[in-house]
Amino acid sequence: MLRKEWGLHQRLWGHHRLTDRRHKSTVQYASRPDLPKLAYTRVKGKSPGVVFLPGYGSNMNGKKAEALGEFCKSLGHSFLRFDYTGHGASEGTLADGTVGIWKKDVLYVLDELTEGPQILVGSSLGGWLMLLAAIARPEKIAALVGIASAADHFVTAFNSLPLETRKELEAKGEWSLPSKYTEEGSYKFSMDFLREAENHCVLHSPIPITCPVRLIHGLKDEDVPWHISMQVAERVLSPDVDIILRRNGQHRMSEKDDIKLMVYTIDDLIDKLTTMV
C-alpha cells in the first residue's frame, strides 16, 4: 500500500516540482567549535530515522537524496541529509578534506543532529563512511544500505597500479583518478590524502558490524567495481546481509528504476525493523 502511494507520488513529480522543492528545503548550519560549519536539511519524524551520505565531490541535493527525503516524509519517518566538509553548502575546501575528516562529519551528525537508531544510506564514498560510522557508533545504527559502496576504493585503486607508476606518482606527490563527473576529467589526490585514507581501510579483516546490511551495485559501474560490495558482504559479521546487483546499473544509480529499488529496499528494512520491535 505504501509503495503504491509512493509510486503515485513519483509519477506526479515533474522536473519543475523537484527543482522548486530544492529551493524550498530549509538548509540549516551546524556550528562546531574550531571546525567548518556543516550544511544540512532535516525532517523530523518516527524512528528509525534515515540519514543519507553522498559520494565524493557530490552534495545533498542529488536525485537519490531528494527521492529518499520525499519517501521518508510520506511514511512519517525522520530524514536527514547533509554536505561533508568542503562539499556543497558546507564550509571548507574539498582539496583539504580526508576520509578521517568526513568520518568525523558523519559521527557529529549522528551524535548531535539525530535521535535514536538510524538507517544509513551511503552512496559511493558514503558507502565507505557508513561502515566506519557503524563500527564507531553501533548503538546509533539500525541498518545500512550501500549504493555502489566505495569501501577502501581510493587506496585499492592506487595500489592496483604498476609499481613503477606508483613510484613516479609518489615522487610527484599527486595522483589523478579519472572521472566523468568533473569538468577536469579527473580528481586529484595528494599522497598525504592516500596515506591518511589507509588508516580507515576496512576490507583487510572482518568488519565488526552486526546490524542488517543491504548492498546495491551496478554491474556496469565503471568507477567502483561491483566486487567491492561482494567483499563488504563477505567481511561484515552481520548474519543479515543481502546484495542486489543490477545488470545495467551504472555508478550513480540515479535512473528511475535504480531509485525505486533503493526506496523499496529501505521500505522493507523499515518494515522489518519496526516489526522486530
Q: Could you tell me the CA-to-CA distances from 166 to 78, 153, 194, 254, 274 in Å, in that order?
A: 45, 16, 12, 33, 49
Query: Which position among 123, 124, 149, 229 bears the catalytic label?
Result: 124
In angstroms, the CA 52 to CA 81 distance is 5
In angstroms, the CA 121 to CA 65 distance is 9
Q: Are strands 35-43 and 28-32 parallel, antiparallel or unpaired?
A: antiparallel
Neighbouring-strand partners of residue 215: 146, 243
3-state secondary structure of 79: strand
Angle at 98 between CA 95 and CA 99, to 5 degrees: 140
C-alpha cell of residue 239: 548474519
Annotation says 240 is catalytic = no
Query: Which position among 105, 221, 223, 258 bears the catalytic label?
Result: 221
In which residue are the cell numbers 550501500 written?
Answer: 146
Annotation says 221 is catalytic = yes
Other CB atoms within a 10 A radius of the CB of residue 220 amount to 12
**Residues assigned a catalytic role:** 124, 221, 251
